[in-house]
Amino acid sequence: MILYTMMPEELIFPLESSTYNTQKVVTHNGIPLLVEKLEGPECRVLRVMSSNPNHYMNDAYMPGTKITLT
């Protein structure tokens, strides 16, 4: 089966609810980010939630990058 859609994969094939328990939206240096909580104050960036195109060009906030929250 081929599914042609513009909807994100997460909406069509939802993950387990325990996966979402570790995610939260934070603002880091004025940029809203969806992060996955790791151990201690560390988080992994999952998605940039900003409407500013310049925030997407910042390599420090690429998905997969680890950041430290204070």
The single residue listed with the structure tokens 């909406």 is 11
pLDDT in tens, 35-49: 999 998 999 999 999
Model confidence at 14: pLDDT above 80: no
pLDDT at 52: 95
The single residue listed with the structure tokens 């387990």 is 16
What does DSSP assign to residue 55?
Answer: H
Provide the pLDDT confidence category of residue 20 given band limits of 50, 70 and 90.
confident
Are the C-beta atoms of 25 and 19 separated by less than 8 Å? no
Model confidence at 55: pLDDT above 90: yes
